[in-house]
Amino acid sequence: MGVLVLGGAGYIGSHAVDQLIHRGYDVVVVDNLGTGHKAAVNNNAKFYEGDIRDKAFLENVFNNENIEGVFHFCAYSLVGESVEKPLSYFNNNVNGLQVLLEVMYDHEVAHIVFSSTAAVYGEPDSVPITEDDSKTPTSPYGESKLMMEKMMHWSHEAYGVNYAALRYFNVAGAKEDGTIGEDHRPETHLIPIVLQVALGQRDELTVFGDDYDTEDGSCIRDYLHVVDLIDAHILAFQHLKNGGESGAFNLGSSQGYSVFEILEAARKVTGKTINAVVGERRAGDPSKLIASSNKAQQILGWKPKHDDIHDIIGSAWQWHEKHPNGYQEE
């Protein structure tokens, strides 16, 4: 029996494929290569290029392969872009999941591990954020992920589809040997942008606001190593297979770092100066976002192994130094 990884050519998906193969799973990958890179996919995985919204294509994959569970990483995920193109996000994310759930139901595939987001919470009630906190997304991206969680919940109630929705904030780092890593175009994530400055690919980092109600005035965020993130996804799949209860789980290091702390850690790791300037605040940026991972630790037995920010940045730096132009695909 195999597992299907949707979006397996992307940053997080490719690390999932790699770790699943190293743990002995037969892995099938579906990716439309809209933002993913074929070069990121482990050669031992079976690859299908296509879009999950294409029901005939997806039916063909399920007919050809013996699939016992699905890992879903194939959503559009840029908050700012989602505000400009909400219908595109609902079409890809919500419609894509509907097609998937229909095909899973037709083929009696009962387990799905869903890569959700802490954006479902919007402005947090309190910090650290727990799974029961109110969910008022402030972007179409967060709204689409919350809708997807609800679709899985009702499919669980009606059809017995078991699901784990994993909510997290900022993922960073790369596989320890530096063979796969993060390559977004354009790049929007803080740590790779900082490292692009270190590589001389950008002149400076813009820190969006230094007057927040935090110790150094910059925003504080939770950072999670991609390897730990995938470990949680695999534990969630095993939890479902063992008859565990469906539901949502927060993932995070439970420790926040400010933008200035990330900058200083990157300077230490890289030995580079890394110029930075302070700019205006971005609309809708909360001052502090940290997730409580107690539920995932207690129920899934998950414990992050790479919670030192220097380790996270160090693995990312190794990837960026070896691959300054990413996967170099034209």
d(CA 303, CA 45): 27
What residues contact residue 150 under an 8 Å CB cut-off, 6+ apart? none
Query: For the chain, how many helices (H) and strands (E)?
Result: 11, 13
User: Which of 321, 190, 166, 161 has the alpha carbon at shortest distance from 265?
Assistant: 190
Of the candidates 304, 323, 309, the residue with the CA atom closest to the CA atom of residue 257: 309
The Cα–Cα gap between 134 and 79 comes to 19
pLDDT at 209: 93
- 223 within 8 A of 312, measured Cβ to Cβ: yes
Spatial CA neighbour of 188 closest among 171, 209, 175 = 171
Confidence class for position 330, pLDDT limits 50, 70, 90: very low
pLDDT in tens, 200-220: 999 999 999 999 989 999 999
Q: Determine the pLDDT at residue 102.
A: 98
Find, among 6, 128, 25, 162, the residue nearest to 71 by Cα: 6
Asked whether the bond before 186 is cis by omega within 30 degrees of 0, the reply is yes
Beta pairing class for 256-258 and 220-225: antiparallel
Q: Give the model's pLDDT for residue 273.
A: 92
| Percent of all residues in the chain with a pLDDT value above 90, rounded to a whole number | 73
Whether 23 shows a pLDDT value over 80: the answer reads yes
Whole-number pLDDT of residue 326:
80
Enumerate the active-site residues. Answer: 141
Alpha-carbon span 172 to 163, nearest angstrom: 25
Nearby residues of 185 by Cβ (< 8 Å), 6 or more positions away: 35, 326
> For residue 39, which amino acid is it?
A
State mean pLDDT over 295-302.
Answer: 97
- Which tokens go with 273? 């100066």
Say what the pLDDT of residue 85 is: 95
Spans of all domains in the chain:
2-172+223-251
Bridge partners of residue 155, in order along the sequence: none
For the chain, the average pLDDT equals 92
User: Is residue 284 very low, low, confident or very high in pLDDT (cuts 50, 70, 90)?
Assistant: low
10 Å CB burial of residue 196 (0-12, 13-18, 19+) is: middle
Mean pLDDT of 49-62: 98
Structure tokens at 192: 């790779």
Check whether 19 has a pLDDT greater than 80: yes
Looking at residue 328, what is its pLDDT? 76
- Tokens encoding 330: 């034209």
Give 302's contacts (C-beta < 8 A, 6+ positions apart).
Answer: 228, 231, 232, 235, 251, 293, 296
311 C-beta neighbours (distance < 10 Å), count: 17
User: How far is residue 153's CA from residue 304's CA, in Å, rounded to a whole number?
Assistant: 27
Q: Phi, psi (5° rounding) for residue 47?
A: -110, 130
Write out the two tokens for 187: 């790049």
| Section 279-284 average pLDDT | 80
Reported as a pLDDT band with limits 50, 70 and 90, residue 181 is confident
Given a cut of 70, whether residue 176 has pLDDT beyond it is: yes
Structure confidence by residue, pLDDT tens digits, 120-156: 998 888 889 999 999 999 899 999 999 999 999 999 9
Q: Which superfamily does 2-172+223-251 belong to?
A: NAD(P)-binding Rossmann-like Domain (3.40.50.720)
